[in-house]
Structure 1
Amino acid sequence: MAAAATLALAPVVAQAQTAPTQLWVDLSTSTMTGMPDMLQGGVGGMIGGLFGGGRGGGGSQTYGHASGRFIQQGSGPSLTGAFPPNRVIDLALYNPRKPGTEAALAIPPTMGMGEQLPLVPPSPSFKEPGDSAPGEVPEVKGRLLVYWGCGDKVRPGQPKVINLASNPAQWAPVLAGRHAPERAAKVGAQHALYPNEKNTVNPKADTSLVGEHQVRGEGVPESMRFQLAERQDLMSAIRLQSQGQLTESIQLSWLTVPRAHAYHLHAMGAVGQDMVLWSSADNGDAGLGLFDYLTESTSAKWVKDKVLLSPGTTECAVPQGIFASPGGEAGGAMLRMIAYGPESHLSHPARPANAPKSWQPEWTVRVRTKSQTMAMLGMDMGGMAGGSESNSDSAPAEEQAEKPSGLPGAAGSILRGIFGR
């Protein structure tokens, strides 16, 4: 019987011995437009307090703040989502030879975060920010008014009007749109994460990941040493300018973000009992699910489909008066903007051309980048967050399949996010 058990376990052991060690690196830059540089580090706490976004502030003590789920939903879903720390580095290591074991990432001096970052398994109670239980769709009254497209005037056929008192199955298709595919590491007890309780050092304005990195730990391949270049560095902050009152067409402009391969903007606000949504998508997409990482191949397709703005776009206008009441009184509106950055895949040995399905590296590293900002519409503000103006070439990444929003289920999540339930 013992011999039979040994034979049964042999394939599992062999798989663990041959499976690659994997490191996921998610980099995110976030700002509040118009906030002076010296205050940006604490903007998360202020915005979270003003708009019910849950945790924020300059310190990231939990893995997962780089995720789009955090900026869209927050720790507790609300009108604007939560606002993450200024600069976030999320690391997740899967070491199949010693799963759930502490390790460390040796980093270059250019990061200014010490000699190495500890990678620690999550506690049993760990839950990623934004990974909240579905809950029930709140009972709400009023309407949703949905506008789309850049331009001074409201286009014919707009807005789409949704009576929130009706059956969600009837109005869910109006809000349904493309969502950034969920490709984050599915972290659990078998992973080792950063940030964690042992180290909460955050990247600074001059932090650079360019240089040599090495993962060290029991069972980690000695060869897991790799170089990161400018393509894999933190992105510059979005320098956004907003001009115009809510009763007018609001003119938005920005400097080109180096390495960005597409942009998307979305705004929401209250006008009386109604909730108003606007998206920069030119095809009528509600745009609520696009605030997360995208590969270059996916964003290129969605630029062609007029869902996203091209990397050469530097301006967009919000149609006149959509956030003002019929009497001309202004309500309130919050804008979100994202610049999608490069995604890189490293491995050892390097993946050969026309690699067979059986090919498997010793280790892999995936690095994703994005930059995002928020702004209060109706206030003339210039983007005051600094950033590098240099560029680097972008290499193609693996194309990811588009995912539909799921209609009623997704519509419920949208309602919970908008009304903070």
Structure 2
Amino acid sequence: MPLRLRRHAALSLSAAAIAVLVASPVSSQQAASPIARYDMDVGTVTGLAAMGSGMGAGLSMMFGGGGNKQAHELVLRLGSVNAAADGKPRADHFMPAVARLGASVPLLTPKPGTRVDTPEELPRDFQRPKGRLLIYWGCGAKAGPGQPVVIDFAKLSAGQIPPNLFAGAMPIDHSVTVGNSKTYGEWPNAETRKLLSADSSLLGEHRIAGNYSPEIKFALAQDFMPAITGKSSPLAGGATQISWNSVANATGYYAWVMTAKANSKGEFQDMVWWSSSASRQFGGALWDWIAPAQVAKLIQQQVVMPPSQTTCTVPAEVTAAGGEFGLGNLYAYGPEANFAWPPRPANARTPWKPEWTARVRYRSNSMWLLNGPDMDAMMRGGDSSEAEPPKKKKKCKGGLGGLLGAVVTGEGC
């Protein structure tokens, strides 16, 4: 299963609530844009998002048990103001051999009406969540004043959105999309099943060639970022401390937790959403790749944690309201490389009309279950004399959502 789909499945616990509240901004094309723009988003993932690299190690990382398994993600998008002369757009990204993806990967142009610019595709059986969403924010043993903000999904569906739900406004990123390109191509796509390996590298020469854009060429000196791995430990008083390793070249960190309690029918009622931001900033651009200059501003606003910080305390109220276990997410934002032809003139007064621009963004991400059982010990086996009598197992609902539900409720299956 492609990495992007695995991540989508792993987020099944929280996707319904998030989809109702958060939508990533859709950018519009700039009037002075070049003929072609190219976006290359580079990521390193561990934990739940990297489970496809080995179930045993994946489960260990899923519960914060360590392990060194990681996976790489790569998202390529080409946009042009031109159309293919023959009406059949074609483009390829020619990779260095160390990428282990073959000579090139195709940038497929979606068929009309089959591709829309949404942050995530919702499941076909998507149902609006019931109950409430309790929103907390900020690092600390106790929640700050004005928390939680309570969202009643029934009222939200009726259009009653609480005023000032989110503090401030996140920046709009003008990424390459179907909507702002006359002709558009992307990878991964339905035409190829190539996957990056753990030892893939992006160092070296890159070339993008097609019949609707000028040739794009640049060399990368920055490879995939190191992995970020999260751990959690309960504190006296009910709070939970999360910690992570310092990641080289990280410009800042951001964390969030989603948890919920289930009723006797196994249905989630109240969901709890916490963010490490000192203000009510959730989702949107914070789940994306962010430019270093913007990260620096967000650190000043205490929305993003500085690169020197490697711990944060989840308030006790989050655990009390949502349960002991929670789905945690950590982001380490990274550097950005920009290329253009012809290069931007040193004199700002000199007119500049580039044929193409290219942007390469980096990040590292980890997803795991907070305060879960020690999977390393469970897989090694324990002393049977100390084991509790086995409980009658409940039948799990199908899919990863059922597994996560069993873990969150602590009842097993």
Kindly report the root-mean-square deviation, in angstroms, between the aligned alpha carbons of the 2 structures.
Answer: 3.7
Match runs of 1:300-315 below 5 Å: 300-315=296-311
Aligned counterpart, 1:12 = none
- Alignment partners' CA distance in 2, 1:34 and 1:246: 30
* Unaligned stretches of 5+ residues in structure 2: 1-32, 63-69, 263-268, 377-413
Contact 2:260 2:323 in 1 (8 A): no
Shift of 1:102: 0.8
- Decide which of 325, 338, 342 is 1:345's aligned counterpart: 338
Q: For structure 1, which segment, 188-197 or 34-43, has the greater mean C-alpha deviation from structure 2 after superposition?
A: 34-43
Say yes or no: does 1:324 pair with 2:312.
no
Contact 2:281 2:303 in 1 (8 A): no
- Alignment partners' CA distance in 2, 1:286 and 1:369: 21
Report the AA paired with residue 318 of structure 2.
Answer: I
The residue matched to 1:173 in structure 2 has which SS? coil
Shift of 1:96: 4.6
Aligned counterpart, 1:124 = 112
Contact 1:244 1:379 in 2 (8 A): no
Report the AA paired with residue 308 of structure 1.
Answer: V
Report the AA paired with residue 290 of structure 2.
Answer: L
1:168-199 per-position Cα deviation (integer Å, ceiling 9, x unaligned):
54524234554352432122661222223332
- Alignment partners' CA distance in 2, 1:193 and 1:34: 21
Aligned counterpart, 1:173 = 164
Aligned counterpart, 2:184 = 191
Q: How many aligned positions are there?
A: 319
Aligned counterpart, 1:91 = 76
1:126-179 per-position Cα deviation (integer Å, ceiling 9, x unaligned):
32564558x9x9776644322221122333543334455556545242345543
Are the structure 2 counterparts of residues 118 and 373 from structure 1 closer, same or farther at C-alpha, using a change threshold of 3 Å? same
The residue matched to 1:88 in structure 2 has which SS? strand
- Alignment partners' CA distance in 1, 2:44 and 2:251: 15
- Decide which of 85, 88, 108 is 2:96's aligned counterpart: 108
- Alignment partners' CA distance in 2, 1:103 and 1:186: 16
Shift of 1:369: 1.7
Shift of 1:366: 1.2
- Alignment partners' CA distance in 1, 2:295 and 2:100: 32
Aligned counterpart, 1:22 = 37
Aligned counterpart, 1:79 = none
- Alignment partners' CA distance in 1, 2:37 and 2:133: 43
Match runs of 1:21-420 below 5 Å: 21-32=36-47, 38-39=53-54, 86-96=71-81, 98-99=83-84, 101-127=89-115, 130=119, 132=121, 142-166=131-155, 169=160, 171-175=162-166, 178-179=169-170, 181-187=172-178, 190-218=183-211, 220-221=213-214, 224-230=216-222, 233-244=223-234, 248-271=238-261, 273-282=269-278, 284-289=279-284, 290-324=286-320, 330=323, 332-356=325-349, 358-379=351-372
Report the AA paired with residue 142 of structure 2.
Answer: K
Report the AA paired with residue 42 of structure 2.
Answer: L
Shift of 1:355: 3.4
- Alignment partners' CA distance in 2, 1:132 and 1:246: 40
The residue matched to 1:342 in structure 2 has which SS? strand
The residue matched to 2:295 in structure 1 has which SS? helix
- Alignment partners' CA distance in 1, 2:49 and 2:82: 48
Shift of 1:252: 1.0
Are the structure 2 counterparts of residues 152 and 124 from structure 1 closer, same or farther at C-alpha, using a change threshold of 3 Å? same
The residue matched to 2:219 in structure 1 has which SS? strand
What is the TM-score when the length of structure 2 is the normalising length? 0.66
1:180-233 per-position Cα deviation (integer Å, ceiling 9, x unaligned):
5243212266122222333221221111111011223346545x3211111xx3
Contact 2:275 2:282 in 1 (8 A): yes
The residue matched to 1:355 in structure 2 has which SS? coil
Contact 2:241 2:314 in 1 (8 A): yes
Report the AA paired with residue 307 of structure 2.
Answer: P
**Identical aligned residues as a percent:** 32
- Alignment partners' CA distance in 2, 1:162 and 1:174: 9
Aligned counterpart, 1:409 = none
Contact 1:243 1:381 in 2 (8 A): no
* Unaligned stretches of 5+ residues in structure 1: 1-17, 48-84, 384-421
- Alignment partners' CA distance in 2, 1:319 and 1:109: 47
The residue matched to 2:177 in structure 1 has which SS? coil
The residue matched to 1:174 in structure 2 has which SS? coil
